[in-house]
Structure 1
Amino acid sequence: MQRISMAACLAVLVALAATTAEAQDAAAGRQKAQMCAVCHGLDGIGRNPDVPNLAGDNAIYLRAQLHAFKSGERRHEQMSIIAQGLSEEDIADLTAWYSSLKITVEMPE
């Protein structure tokens, strides 16, 4: 019974991811990210120590955070105000842009 539930959940997640991917436009997100660049950089690398990097983050995570700021579930002096002005299309495009950025990691020797 538990395997069926897990399989059903996986099927729903795959369907949601496919639907969301169709609605996203990374090129439009790049243009919209100009307003984010002051803090997060167009490249998704935070410009100050207290600003998170967004480059390469999972689109589902980024979308959830923007919705949390927009709804008031999560609060930040600037992000709460900025998120209020974002449409669902803006959120989809921005998450497409920042999640599409590739990051690399170098292990210390």
Structure 2
Amino acid sequence: MPRVSLLTAALVALPFAAAPSLAADLAAGKQKAQMCATCHGRDGIATAPDAPNLAGDSSIYLAEQLKAFREGRRQHQQMSIIAQGLSDEDIADLSAWFAAIEVTATLPTVN
């Protein structure tokens, strides 16, 4: 196979290789997300000033961040502890739940 074709095939396959391998359960994710509500809000819009909004983020991004906390590659006083107790299934469910929340934005009116 020509070099260009191999590169093209690799680039096309890359998003699928990075996707979580477990099938996520939205209902389970909604239930599990209750533990996140104190800081990240019931709807994924943060209530704590130092917590990020999770609603509408990519499930791949969210899963990678939770895994980074769990593995110690990313540090945060609370999240590093919380993530220790998350299984791959928990991470897939939570990531799918927050990613499924639709977020809309309204631009400010500027005169």
Q: Kindly, what percent of the aligned residue pairs are identical?
A: 57
Deviation at 1:2, TM superposition (A): 4.5
Unaligned runs of 5+ in 1: none
Q: Tell me if the contact between 1:46 and 1:53 (Cα under 8 Å) persists in the aligned partners.
A: yes
In 2, the alpha carbon distance for the partners of 1:50 and 1:78 equals 11
Measure the CA separation in 2 of the matches of 1:95 and 1:86: 12
Give the 3-state SS of the residue equivalent to 2:49 in structure 1.
Answer: coil
Q: Which amino acid aligns with 2:88?
A: E
Between Structure 1 and Structure 2, which shows a larger proportion of helix residues? 1
What's the TM-score, normalizing by structure 2?
0.87
Shift of 1:49: 1.9
RMSD: 1.7
Equivalent residue pairs, number: 107
2:13 equivalent in structure 1:
11
The match for 2:81 is 81
Larger Rg: 2
* Deviation for aligned residue 1:6: 3.6
Aligned twin of 2:93: 93
Residues 4-13 or 43-52, more deviating? 4-13
| AA at the equivalent of 1:80 | S
Give me the whole-angstrom Cα distance separating, in 2, the residues matched to 1:89 and 1:24.
7
Superimposed CA distance per residue, residues 29-69 of structure 1 (whole angstroms, 9 cap, x where no aligned partner): 00000100111012001112211000000000000000000
Q: Contact 2:18–2:60 at 8 Å: present in 1 too?
A: no
1:25 has 2:19 as partner: no
The CA deviation at 1:3 is 5.4
- Equivalent position of 1:71 in the other structure: 71
